Amino acid sequence: MNKKKRILSGMRPTGPLHLGNLLGALANWVKLQDEYECFYFIADWHALTSDYENTDYIDQYRKEIMIDWLSAGLTPEKSTLFVQSEIKEHAELFLILGMITPVPWLERNPTYKEQIAQISNKDLSNFGFLGYPILQAADIIMYKPYGVPVGVDQAPHVEITREIARRFNHFYGNVFPEPEVILTETPKILGIDRRKMSKSYDNAIFLSDTPEQISSKVSQMITDPQRARRSDPGNPDVCNVFDFHKLYTPAAEVKEIDRDCRTAQIGCVECKKKMALNLIKALEPIREKRAYYEAHPQQVDEIMADGCDRARKTARITMNAVRAAIKII
């Protein structure tokens, strides 16, 4: 039997996971478990790069995210699930890679430029924020993965990791393989106000939401802004609710809703109620698993501890090779 190729990815613990996280990454991670040897980690040190003034929430969200992962279908039998800060070797490799990474590489990072321009309520002039691609590179190449599953907008992050690995190998010998970009499809999903779904925008539907909360949020969703009256024909192509229908409603019913909306045979209120029921049904398996893990917190702790032990063994092997390569043992 051929050994599975290894992949790795992570999430920052900045809040409970929502549908955007599920469709943008987590659902793909679950599928990839059957094809690859998967390492998935909670990037809690990365949360400090921008939220260094308030760290009270990080420990709580670490466990919440792990529960969300398990509820969505990640399993310790198929994946190594761990917490970044529990593997101190990440900090050591971050330090070493920081010695060889040119500052202009970090300054040209498109995400760095965008967030500096967009985020005005936080002081991001710290080294941690500028240097987070180095920590990200350490996180990735520590486990020598074949690839990193990302959306198109995240591909530049993997490219700088490849450059850093290439530079290390040039100086010290061929220690790190250059990880490939594994592009994953991410369905279009916006928040209830048609902006990007985000906890900070207060427009997210969370995996932990109750059916009542989901129904309430769906009722607030923006539909076709040009449809002022029930008798006006609508345009599903510009309707946020219809985008959700395409994901959570059976195909035959989606066609009916498309037709009935354009001919004013269905109103927005009824359309929202239909979608809410289908969304609630689709998320029911996740809610059931979530209830189980919330009732068994010790089991979640044990899964996290076991994953950290497995990741740490791999990280120690890598760092032994790194120390030998740079001749500091």
Do 304 and 286 lie in one domain? The reply is no
Query: To the nearest whole percent, how much of the chain has pLDDT over 90?
Result: 81
Do 94 and 235 lie in one domain? The reply is no
The mean pLDDT value for 67-71 works out to: 98
Do 145 and 178 lie in one domain? The reply is yes
Do 11 and 50 lie in one domain? The reply is yes
The mean pLDDT value for 257-280 works out to: 96
Do 91 and 235 lie in one domain? The reply is no
186 with 151: CB under 8 angstroms? yes
The side-by-side arrangement of strands in the sheet containing 147-150 is 79-83, 37-42, 6-11, 147-150, 180-183
Given a cut of 90, is residue 49 above it in pLDDT? no
Paired tokens of 45: 């040190």
Query: What's the confidence (pLDDT) of residue 239?
Result: 95
Residues 6+ apart with CB under 8 A from 263: 233
Strand partners, 180: 147
Of 171, 179, 177, the residue nearest 325 (C-alpha): 171
- List phi, psi (to 5°) of 231: -80, -10
The mean pLDDT value for 86-102 works out to: 98
Here the CATH number for the domain that contains residue 37 is 3.40.50.620
Query: What's the confidence (pLDDT) of residue 318?
Result: 98
Query: What's the confidence (pLDDT) of residue 120?
Result: 67
CA distance 8 to 179: 10
Do 68 and 86 lie in one domain? The reply is yes
- List phi, psi (to 5°) of 182: -105, 100
326 with 172: CB under 8 angstroms? yes
Helix (H) or strand (E) holding 149: strand 147-150
pTM attached to this predicted model: 0.93
Do 230 and 148 lie in one domain? The reply is no
Average pLDDT score, the chain: 93
- List phi, psi (to 5°) of 187: -60, 150
Residue pLDDT, tens place only, 177-228: 999 999 887 777 899 999 989 888 899 999 999 999 999 999 999 999 999 8
Do 28 and 174 lie in one domain? The reply is yes
Q: Is 37 left (phi over 0), alpha (psi -120 to 50) or beta?
A: beta
Do 50 and 123 lie in one domain? The reply is yes
Do 138 and 275 lie in one domain? The reply is no
Give the pLDDT band (50/70/90) at residue 117. Answer: low
143 with 318: CB under 8 angstroms? yes
Q: How many domains does the chain have?
A: 2
Of 188, 236, 141, 183, the residue nearest 23 (C-alpha): 188
Q: What is the Cα 16 distance to its own chain's centre?
A: 11
CA distance 305 to 302: 5
Query: What's the confidence (pLDDT) of residue 119?
Result: 67
- The answer as to whether 141 is a domain residue is yes
Do 135 and 267 lie in one domain? The reply is no
Query: What's the confidence (pLDDT) of residue 15?
Result: 87
Place of tokens 């450059």: 163
Say which range, 14-18, 114-118, 137-141, has the weakest mean pLDDT: 114-118
Do 147 and 272 lie in one domain? The reply is no
- Range(s) of the domain holding residue 50: 6-189+297-326
Here the CATH number for the domain that contains residue 251 is 1.10.240.10
Residue pLDDT, tens place only, 287-309: 999 999 999 999 999 999 999 99
